[in-house]
Structure formats: structure tokens, C-alpha cells
Amino acid sequence: MSIRAEIHKLNLIKIFDPKSVAVVGTNNVKGTVPYDILFNILKSEFTGIVFPVSPAEKSICSVKAYKYVLDIPDPVDLAIIVFPSAVCHMALEQCGQKGIKGVVIISAGFKEVGEKGLEREKQLKQIAEKYEMSIIGPNCLGIINTDPYINLNASFARKMPEEGNIGFLSQSGALCTAVLDYALAKHIGFSKFISFGNKADISEIDFMYYLMEDEKTKVILLYLEEITDGRALMKAAHEVISQSGKPVLILKAGRTEAGARAAASHTGSLAGDDEICDAAFSQAGIIRCDNIEEMFNIAIAFAWQPAPKSNKVAIITNAGGPGVLTTDAAIRDGLRLAEFSEETTREFRKSLPATANIKNPVDVIGDARADRYNIAMNGAFREDGVDGVFVILTPQSMTDIETIAKEVVKVSKQYSKPVYTSFMGESDVAVGINILLSNKIPHYILPESMCRSFSRVYRFYRDLDKDPHPQRIYTDIDTETVHEVLDEAIRNNHLYLSEDEAGKILSIYGLPVVKSQLAASPDEAALISLNIGFPVVMKIISDDIIHKSEVGGVVLNVNSVEEARNTFTSITEHVLQNKPHATIKGIQVSKMVTSGEEVILGIKKDPSFGPVIMFGLGGLYVEVFKDVSFRVAPVDEAIADSMIKQVESSKILTGIRGKAPRDIKAIRECLMRLSQLALECPQIRELDINPLIVLEENKGCYVADARILLDSPDTK
Amino acid sequence: MDRKEIENRVKKVIARVLEIDESEIPYNANFSFDLGASSLQSLRLVAGFQEEFNIEMDEEKSLEVQTVSEAVDFISTYLP
């Protein structure tokens, strides 16, 4: 942990549990941010002391105001600065002199307005560092702590949210107000509500560590617009999840950017930011959400209900159709319908109408009142094989929605198993939904959302218990030589390494590069091909030629010494006809590998997440369907396996239509070795192995072609 | 127009816009930080100076002017 991070850790405690707060730059103009911030603190009945600081006012909201923060006679734990951006640095400097360690800067007019604003922001950071202060913001809505012993609403949100156990972090202030309104309507409470704006000093990573330690927080939600340091975010999320067992849900804006990328069979253009983000989040155990509704659907399940011990659920419904829909959704989301014991079945047969379906899903029939729900729920909860109960209701004329909702609340309180509900409809069921939500029973308009939320919660806890796979480090690699080759190439501004150069590097890293040698004459080509063994492939090697086939620079299936000699001459002639000024290094003679399945592997250096590894099947699967998978390095055995399995077309590798299965183990090893290369050689910007020819099971694979693009010398 | 006269007229505008007494305006006082001018009042100050001196000031640059002394310097550049 860096010194600044340590300072933030200490200061954040005071920021969220202050004994006194100064609102610096407030005024008496109602309906303005400087006024509303102070007003909200007073209205929320903050348990500490508030000091308005206003150059022009004697008092605000009947509270004595000070001209400068330095005039306040008592110690101050937290300052909320609401001055115009041009003078925030002056206020911050005084806060530093006053010994205030925590500051929230609400004011806009910084990084978001351009170069001048960025300079102002840097100035704030320098002052904060000088006085060992920590800043939230600038350009944010503020912070809220619902703890009744604190009651701090230092924001310009319209209302204080309910107390709860969800910690919410947002880069967007405007989204915060929408979320607060949404949450209030659904009785969703928060432990801490944090708008961090431009994150000039304290970042989402510092907040995540803070919320990890925060006893009031059970679930962490984060809305992000930009990821500054993806690796640090992954590390923090992984630590928070594994150390505290608290789930981290992220709503990351910018999903569609990748959709516009052109299809092309190389890693650089296949790896959109969003795909990499998906992979990185999944690797770190982060639950990525697509929208606010999904985020809160899952969040309330975590926050309000116990963890399910398994994926076996019981469905209780008063309508057949919704029961079937729920069953379909449950199965689709990887859940299982529990089988009831003889005892439960007997009880249901005795107590429910003859027309009821007493197997799972239990249909208590359309005219069911609370008593039937009671019987079905108690039976399901008592059943050993049931680890979650779904209660579905549709509003018939005789359905007593309110009583049934109360029954769900009453019965579920007697058990320590999770219950999720879906009272389908809107107007009539509203009264029941309100009862459920205000009693912390998760409710979903659609049963599909209910199943999906349960599934995400179940998978989170299942994966939490998994043992981490140790990262395999290959020691049979001469890293020094590889670095010498790469650094030398960068010094000479030779950034595009051709097949033979890339092949050498991959060979050193233990990737099975097809046996090949460079021939300088027809006789040498004949000799090399004899040594390698026929058939061979012959290719032109020249820094001036990237697309070899287009200039007649590739000949496949050369089968004799004489053919090899003639091919050398014909390739040279063709190339010189097409590219008269090309400098030819020679003709590469390689073993021709046949009867393999072609896959592609690659490395891309992502500006935020660092080296990323790619896998896909060759040809159409990549070019048309973009059926590829990505993972942030390091890639261990389990990750490599998941990469291969994620690619739909990889089923071909397991042997279909009488074809023999391919050597998947060999691909896995290549992915892990490639991952080590990516991490140990940060000079590589992009690398493509296209194709890697995979032979039958236990027969290995071969790198048939590869290219490397290096960072330019001025890349930091 | 000499500097003293410009200063007096600048203070007069500030006093009117911020509704404070001229005697409470130190020469180096910052409009926002020391005198409590809000963002809107800062815009009114610029408009007030333009009207008072019958000049057309660069809006972006004029908003950077934060003290009486800076205002006197800045307005001087627009006067004959």
C-alpha cells in the first residue's frame, strides 16, 4: 500500500465519522449548492457540530458563520468546500493550516472543463499532499453516512436514503440522485453513499478498501465511467472479496464502443476495451451489471437474504404459466429444482387441494389464499434439499395480496434460507410489493430477474470457496536473451518482428514453433528441406514484405530436393518482379504440418489492464463470428481452460462428427507460456500466433506463423 | 483616468453587487474567498465593471480577475 493510500485509509475514518464539519463557502441563497449542502447536514440531524464558513454572512440557517475556516475556534474533522473552483485552492490551503484531514470538494470546474481545470486539480492535490489531507472529488455530489450515531448528509441530494448495508460509490453525481430516488421507492438502504467525481485524490480503490473494513457495509456497488488503473482495481476487488466475503458489483459505462470495431483476425482489433473489462472483472470475482435495475436486483439479494448453500430451489406459485416460465429461467441460469421428500409430498397431498401440483414447482392454484402459501412455504423451507424458495403470485379476484405478502414475511423469518419473490403485475400487487420490500424480502417484477439474481448470488459464494490455483512459472526460459533481442529491435526502431524473429522468441519461451531454417541459396534450401523432412513450406523473409502470399512469396507442400531448389528460384523471381526494391533476407524452409485444427493465440497490451491473452479458433470463427476469449495475464491452468471453454467453436477441438479430439492440453500450456512472455516482456505491444496448428490428443501443436509488434522507443 | 479613480469606481461596483460597504473592501481582497461572491455574482461583477467604465472586456480573462488590485490592472488595459 502506498503512503497516500495509508493516509487515505486513516483519513477516511474521520471523513465518515466526523465529530465536526465545516461547510466552506456556504451562503444564504436557498436553492443553491452552497446553501443546500449546509441545509442537508442540519436537516439530517447530524450528531456532531457544524460550522458554516462564509465570507459574507454572519449566520446561515440560524447557525453562526465564520469568515475563514481558520477563525473556527474548535477542531474540525471534515471540510466540505463549495467555493467556486478558482478559489478552492485557497480554502483548501486554510483547511490544511487548520489541521483538517478530510475534505470533500463539491465544486465543479476542474478536470472536466479542460486544461485549466486540470491544472487547478493538480494544485489541489499538491496542497493535500503537503498537509497529509485526503480529498473526495472535486466535481461531486458529496457523501452520506446513514449510521444513526452519525446521520451525515453532506450532499446536495434531495433526500437522505434509508439506513442499510449497501455501500454505493459513484463517479457520476447525477446518477447518484437518480439512484437515491430509485432506492427510496424500493426501500433500499445504504450504509455509505459516496459520489467521488473526478477522483483527483481518493479513488474508488481507496473507497473499496474502506468499505471492506466498514462493519455497516455488506455489499459494495460501484458505478464507473473510466478505469484509470485496471490492474489495481482487479487487485483491490479480489482482496476485498476474498478477505471480507463482501461482493463487489460494478456498473461500468461504455459497453457499446467495442461493437463498432471492425472484424479482423488479429488480437489488437479483436480485443475491444469492453471485452477485456468483462474478462478482468470476471477474473477478479467482480459481478458486472448492465444497468441500475440489475445492479440493485442482485444487491438486495446479497444485502437482505442469507447466502444459498446450493443451487437447489423450490418454486411456489398460484399460476401454472409463471411457474413454467420461472422453471425455464431457473434452469437456464444454472439452478436446479429440488426434489421433495416423501414426507413433504405427503403433507402437500394432505393439505393442498387435489388440483394443486404438489411437486416442484408447487402450484397452489389460482384461488389460493395465505393459508395455502403458508403450507407450501413451510414445506419447502423445512425440506433439506431446498436451499432457496421462490414465491410467485399473480393477482386473481380472490387473491388477498396484502395478507399473502405478510405471510411470506412471517414464514420466511422463521428460517435461515433465502426467499425471493415475484408478485407479477404492477397496480394491484403494489401493496404487497411494498410490504415485501419494507421487510427486506427481495422482490422482482419478472421471475427471470429473480432467477438471475439468485444465480449470481449462488455463483459468487460458490466461487468464494474455491481454492486459488497457483500460478505456474516456467523456469526453462532464457529471458535475458529475449530482452536483448527485443531491446535491440526497439533501439533500431525495428518494431515489427517478422515470422522468423517472432519464432525465435516464442521458441525460447517453450512454444512449439515449427522446425524451420533460413536458406540463402537453392542448394541450401534443398539441404535444409532434406534435414527437416518433406513436405516443407517455403516462404520469403523480408522486412519490406508483410503480406507474403500477395507477392508470390509462399509455396506449400514442397516434396523433393529438386522441387525445393526450383521453388527457391521461383519465389525469389516472383517477389522481385512484384517488389523490385525489396531486401530479401532469404527463404524460410519449414516443416509442413497437416491434419491439424487451426487456432489463434495472441497478446495485447491494454493501457489499463496491462497484458491480455487471447484465444480463438482460426478462419471464419474469428473473422466472422469474433468467437474469441480474453483474460488478463497471468493465465493459470484453470483460466486457460476457461478461455478455451468460453469459445463456442472450441467444441470442434473435443472431436465431433468422427474427428479425433485435439490436444487441448497443449493449447493450455501455450496459453500459460504466452502469459509468462507477456508479463516478462512488457516491450511487446501485440503478438499474434496465427495459426497454432493443434494435432490429435497427446500429439502436441505447432506455431505455424507469428508476428510481434513492439512498443516504440518513446513509449513509457 | 488615474489608478485611484479606477479603484474607487471598482469598489463602488463591488459594493453594489455584493451588497457590502465600500469600506469593507480591502485592496487585495479576493471577491469569492474574502468577500463571498458566488459564481453568479462574479458574472454580475464583470457586467458591472463593463457598464461602469463603458468597456467590452474579454469574458474568459475577466472571470480570472479575483481581487480589487487585479481588477484595476485589468480595466486599465481597456482605458485610453
CATH number for position B11: 1.10.1200.10
Of B34, B39, B63, which is closest to A55 when you measure between CB atoms? B34
Question: Are the C-beta atoms of residues A417 and A388 closer than 8 Å to each other?
Answer: yes
Q: Are residues A316 and A170 in the same domain?
A: no
Interface check A54 vs B, CB under 8 A: yes
Nearest CA in chain B to A89: B33
pLDDT at A264: 36
pLDDT exceeding 70 applies to what percent of chain A? 96
- Rg of chain A, C-alpha, whole Å: 32
Tell me what the mean pLDDT of segment A12-30 comes to. 96
The DSSP letter of residue A69 is G
Beta bridge partners of A249: A221, A287
Contact A83 B32 (CB under 8 A): yes
Interface check B65 vs A, CB under 8 A: no
Q: Are residues A149 and A25 in the same domain?
A: yes
* Strand blocks (E) in A576-705: 586-591, 597-606, 610-617, 628-632, 684-694, 701-703
Q: In the block, which residue shows the cell 464558513?
A: A53
Residue A102 lies in a domain: yes
For chain B, list residues with pLDDT below 50: none
Of A55, A56, A86, which is closest to B66 when you measure between CB atoms? A86
pLDDT at A465: 80
Q: Are residues A98 and A186 in the same domain?
A: yes
Residue A415 lies in a domain: yes
Residues from chain B that touch A37, judged by Cβ atoms under 8 A, are none
pLDDT at A716: 55
Whether the per-residue pLDDT at A230 is higher than 50: the answer is yes
Q: Are residues A38 and A165 in the same domain?
A: yes
Interface check A32 vs B, CB under 8 A: yes
Question: Are the C-beta atoms of residues A641 and A670 closer than 8 Å to each other?
Answer: no
CA-based nearest residue to A352, from A336, A340, A334 = A340
Whether the per-residue pLDDT at A287 is higher than 90: the answer is yes
The DSSP letter of residue A632 is E
Q: Are residues A454 and A351 in the same domain?
A: yes
Q: Are residues A96 and A208 in the same domain?
A: yes
The DSSP letter of residue A308 is P
pLDDT in tens, A449-467: 999 999 999 999 999 987 7
Residues from chain A that touch B33, judged by Cβ atoms under 8 A, are 55, 83, 87, 90-91
A263 confidence band (pLDDT: 50, 70, 90):
very low
CATH number where A70 lies: 3.40.50.720
CA-based nearest residue to A454, from A564, A334, A595, A534 = A334
Amino acid at A448: E
Number of domains forming the structure of chain B: 1
Whether the per-residue pLDDT at A355 is higher than 50: the answer is yes
What end-to-end distance do the CA atoms of chain B give, in Å? 8
Cell of A525: 534450401
Q: How far is CA B5 from CA A354, B31, B52, B53, in A?
A: 100, 19, 12, 11
Q: Report the alpha-carbon distance of residue A440 to residue A436 in Å, rounded.
A: 6
Cell of A117: 481545470
Contact A55 B32 (CB under 8 A): yes
pLDDT at A259: 35
Contact A87 B66 (CB under 8 A): yes
Q: Report the alpha-carbon distance of residue A665 to residue A701 in Å, rounded.
A: 10
Number of domains forming the structure of chain A: 3
Q: Which of A426, A443, A464 is the last residue of a domain?
A: A464
Contact A83 B42 (CB under 8 A): no
What lies within 8 Å, CB to CB, of B41 at 6+ separation is B17, B18, B31
Whether the per-residue pLDDT at A619 is higher than 70: the answer is no
Residue A480 lies in a domain: no
Question: Are the C-beta atoms of residues A250 and A224 closer than 8 Å to each other?
Answer: yes
Q: How far is CA A77 from CA A14, A59, A102, A208, A224, in A?
A: 6, 21, 6, 21, 28
- Tell me which residue range forms the domain holding B59: 3-76
- Rg of chain B, C-alpha, whole Å: 11
Residue A35 lies in a domain: yes
The DSSP letter of residue A248 is E
Residue A443 lies in a domain: yes
Q: Report the alpha-carbon distance of residue A193 to residue A190 in Å, rounded.
A: 6
Interface check B66 vs A, CB under 8 A: yes
**CA of A56, closest CA in chain B: separation in Å?**
5
Q: Which of A464, A489, A507 is the last residue of a domain?
A: A464
Q: Report the alpha-carbon distance of residue A10 to residue A32 in Å, rounded.
A: 32
What lies within 8 Å, CB to CB, of B55 at 6+ separation is B49, B75, B78, B79
Amino acid at A478: D
Question: Quick count: other Cβ atoms within 10 Å of Cβ A86?
Answer: 21
Whether the per-residue pLDDT at A269 is higher than 80: the answer is no
Cell of A160: 437522505
Of A29, A32, A84, which is closest to B32 when you measure between CB atoms? A84
Contact B33 A54 (CB under 8 A): no
pLDDT in tens, A104-129: 999 999 998 889 999 999 999 999 99
Q: Are residues A453 and A555 in the same domain?
A: no
Cα dihedral: A633, A639, A640, A645 (round 10): -130
pLDDT in tens, A131-151: 999 999 999 999 999 999 999
- Tell me the whole-structure pTM to 2 decimals: 0.89
Question: Quick count: other Cβ atoms within 10 Å of Cβ A695?
Answer: 19
Q: Are residues A424 and A332 in the same domain?
A: yes
Cell of A29: 441563497
Contact B18 A25 (CB under 8 A): no
Q: 3-state SS of chain B?
A: CCHHHHHHHHHHHHHHHHCCCHHHCCCCCECCCCCCCCHHHHHHHHHHHHHHHCCCCCHHHHHHCCEHHHHHHHHHCCCC
Length of chain B: 80
Q: Report the alpha-carbon distance of residue A82 to residue A154 in Å, rounded.
A: 11
Residue A401: φ, ψ to 5° = -60, -45
Amino acid at A299: A
Q: Are residues A354 and A459 in the same domain?
A: yes
Nearest CA in chain B to A92: B33
Whether the per-residue pLDDT at A265 is higher than 70: the answer is no
Q: How far is CA A520 from CA A525, A526, A528, in A?
A: 7, 11, 11
pLDDT at A158: 87
CATH number where A314 lies: 3.40.50.261
Q: Which of A217, A242, A276 is the last residue of a domain?
A: A217
Question: Are the C-beta atoms of residues A482 and A681 closer than 8 Å to each other?
Answer: yes
The strand order across the sheet containing A20-24 reads A49-53, A20-24, A78-81, A102-105, A134-136
Residues from chain B that touch A55, judged by Cβ atoms under 8 A, are 32-36
pLDDT exceeding 90 applies to what percent of chain A? 80
**CA of B75, closest CA in chain A: separation in Å?**
20
Cell of A548: 507474403
- Tell me which residue range forms the domain holding A430: 306-464
Amino acid at B23: S
User: Helix axis angle, A637-646 relative to A664-680, nearest 10°?
Assistant: 120
Contact A91 B33 (CB under 8 A): yes
Interface check B35 vs A, CB under 8 A: yes
Of B30, B33, B38, which is closest to A27 when you measure between CB atoms? B38
Is the dihedral angle over the CA atoms A8, A13, A17, A18 positive or is it negative? negative
pLDDT at A506: 96
Q: What long-range pairs does A543-548 form, CB within 8 A, spacing at least 24?
A: A543/A494, A543/A496, A543/A498, A543/A583, A543/A585, A544/A579, A544/A581, A544/A582, A544/A583, A545/A575, A545/A579, A545/A582, A546/A496
CATH number where A584 lies: 3.30.1490.20
Residue A714 lies in a domain: no
DSSP calls for A162-191: EEEEEEEEES-HHHHHHHHHHHHHTT-EEE
